[in-house]
Amino acid sequence: MGRNLTRKILESHLMEGRYEPGTECGIRIDQTLTQDATGTMTYLQLEAMGIKSTKTELSVSYVDHNTVQAGFENADDHKYLQTVAARYGIIYSRPGNGICHQVHLERFGRPGKTLLGSDSHTPTGGGIGMIAIGAGGLDVAVAMGGGPFYTTCPKVCQIYLTGGLNEWVSAKDVVLKMLEIFGVKGNVGVVLEYTGPGVSTLSVPERATITNMGAEMGVTCSIFPSDDVTRGFLQAQGRADQWIELLPDEDAQYANTVHLELDRIEPLVAAPHSPGNVRPIQELKGIKVDQVNIGSCTNSSCKDMMKVAAILKGKTVHPDVSLGIAPGSRQVFQMMARSGILADLINTGARILESACGFCIGNSQSPPSKGVSLRTSNRNFEGRSGTKDAQIYLVSPEAAAAAVITGRIADPRELGIPYPAIEAPTTFFIDDSMFLGNGKPDPSVEVFRGPNIGDPPKNSAFCDVIRGEIAIKAGDKITTDHIMPAGVRLKYRSNIPKYAEFVFENIDSSFYSRCMKNKKGGKQNIIVAGSSYGQGSSREHAALCPMYLGVTAVIAQGFERIHAANLINCGIIPLTFAREEDYEKISQGDEIEISSIKTRLKEKEIMMKNRTRDISIPLLCRLSERQESILLAGGLLNYTVSL
């Protein structure tokens, strides 16, 4: 029986378990990456574990999220990250060097390797032939210390590509089509593996755009083969010696196959407020636009910027539109400057933004009230932009450029100008001077800690009885942005007691005070939610901060993979309704009780007593033996330290 790409890489990295879809396995991690929003807590936990140096082949700490240094907090965090990286043998990518996924693809991604990152868009690395997975910072810290990363051995779905993209259609439209097919939930434990003759028509950055937004489908990761196109990209980056051919066997086995004809895809848009709300651009054209932002880890490559500049050359930004351009890396920035397209974009009227996440996470360029913003980024959750009532549409760079000219959502095929047939550079400008460190630890380095940086919150061993109050009842598709807002609040990420004040603030501003009152009164807090709880970012703060507030359980109709793992890692039990309709039998404020938990974990079904309504509700708890041990220890940090 032939092996697919996913199986080849996972089997060669197995540390525990075996390759059997649906079972838990532990894999060796070759590379890790962190970004500053999740990185400070990752390294604080690494220190708390007593690990002296990293055991991976490569670990990189990027600063790309909080680069707007209003107040001392962000600058202090950056200094902490720089010094802790030097002490532990981690490469430090300075602020301004670029967005972690774009930079890692350019300078460090290697076919056949495993990459674990404390950011949900780490699967971008699948565009170069890596098994690249997003996870919580605590899992990344364990991997840096040489421990296995545990995951469910995936079901591999083959995406068989044929044909090639038509003019004015891009890789962004391909992944939006995939979102139309797969949706944003129900894909936990799945890897998407792209094969077929259409693969060779896509460049590595285009492939990375597609694997990047696999995160929005909730899959474990996505992967492309490593072929001659991959070799050309690595050669252009001065890394030809790191290329290996990596292809599926001719008789490779897959759980299922989806056929996708690239030449039949048309320009698409993800309308508010979900990446899965995909519509043909023809259905939305004519909507007035206030803002266009081009960049993010999804669409900020050199080729993307070259296309936009070619479309806009000689034109000016529509008077009703604000245009922001954020190149994905310093390398892209430098190549734009050297080629003259940076000047072209400035002449067009673009506002040139720092190479950072910025507008994508609501840290800059928030739209006006009730404004319409077209973005080439990957998420359009309500309020994520920094403006709660803004309407965010996700589009390709070509569609974004069309709106810059017309002031409205427009089909780029109808601009009446020749399509800019841009070829990817054959040689990239290489300047690695903003990477600090050589990957070797230096125990003599004193780690800097500013006043905003606290210790990781501690949890006690899990108790045998949960007795408490439903502190909030939330709906479907609750994202980690809903749970733990980013934007201007992100500067508190290293101070859990302060950051916890803002849990669920955009849904229920009284949640914090209610939880603290219960906690002080010795009453546990329980969260109830609908389906697909914990979509979006991998930020473990969405579990750490509720843990600090005394949340001991989350009961939902369904969970997304990364967040469920983060809850367990924080000693919070994730429970699902055995009967989804029982969600209606619980209200905020209800008093509930679950007893004999340690015994019932083995039985997988747990009975909850709703004391307010005097009814019993069956719940499911599907944990592996290892996860049970982590939960009972009070979380992964306690569990790891005790080993």
| 5-264 carries CATH number 3.30.499.10 | yes
CATH superfamily of 466-642: Aconitase, domain 4 (3.20.19.10)
| 268-410 carries CATH number 3.30.499.10 | yes
| Res. 530: pLDDT tops 80 | yes
Run of H or E residues at 625: helix 625-633
Amino acid letter, residue 245? E
Mean pLDDT of 532-552: 93
pTM for the full model?
0.95
Closest CA relative to residue 208, chosen from 115, 143, 273, 135: 115
Tokens matching residue 4: 């697919």
Distance CA 182, CA 195 (A): 17
**pLDDT tens digits, residue range 283-293?**
999 999 999 99
Percent of the chain with pLDDT over 90: 86
Q: In the block, which residue shows the tokens 């429970």?
A: 575
Tokens matching residue 596: 């004999």
Most confidently predicted of 104-108, 376-380, 596-600: 104-108
| Res. 207: pLDDT tops 90 | yes
Q: In the block, which residue shows the tokens 């430090």?
A: 92
User: According to the model, what pLDDT value does residue 492 have?
Assistant: 86
| Res. 584: pLDDT tops 80 | yes
User: According to the model, what pLDDT value does residue 642 have?
Assistant: 81
Q: How many helices (H) and strands (E) are present in the chain, helices listed first?
A: 21, 27
Tokens matching residue 127: 């565009």
User: According to the model, what pLDDT value does residue 487 have?
Assistant: 74
Domains 268-410 and 466-642 share a fold: no
Tokens matching residue 614: 């005097």
Confidence of residue 386 (pLDDT cuts 50, 70, 90): confident
**Buried b / exposed e along 423-438 (16+ C-beta atoms within 10 A):** ebbeebbeeeebbebe
Distance CA 192, CA 3 (A): 14
Q: Indicate the average pLDDT of the chain.
A: 95
Contact 140, 58 (CB under 8 A): no
Mean pLDDT of 595-600: 87
Q: What are the domain boundaries of the chain?
A: 5-264, 268-410, 466-642
Confidence of residue 349 (pLDDT cuts 50, 70, 90): very high
Amino acid letter, residue 157? C
Confidence of residue 618 (pLDDT cuts 50, 70, 90): very high
Confidence of residue 167 (pLDDT cuts 50, 70, 90): very high
| Res. 643: pLDDT tops 80 | no
50-54, 117-121, 198-202: the lowest-pLDDT one: 50-54
- Cα-based angle 24, 29, 33 (whole degrees, multiple of 5): 120
**pLDDT tens digits, residue range 249-266?**
999 999 999 999 999 999
**pLDDT tens digits, residue range 480-493?**
999 998 877 878 88
Distance CA 560, CA 535 (A): 6
318 preceded by a cis bond (ω within 30 of 0):
no
Cβ neighbors of 370 (< 8 A, separation 6 or more) are 389, 390, 391
Helix (H, G, I), strand (E, B) or coil at 70: coil
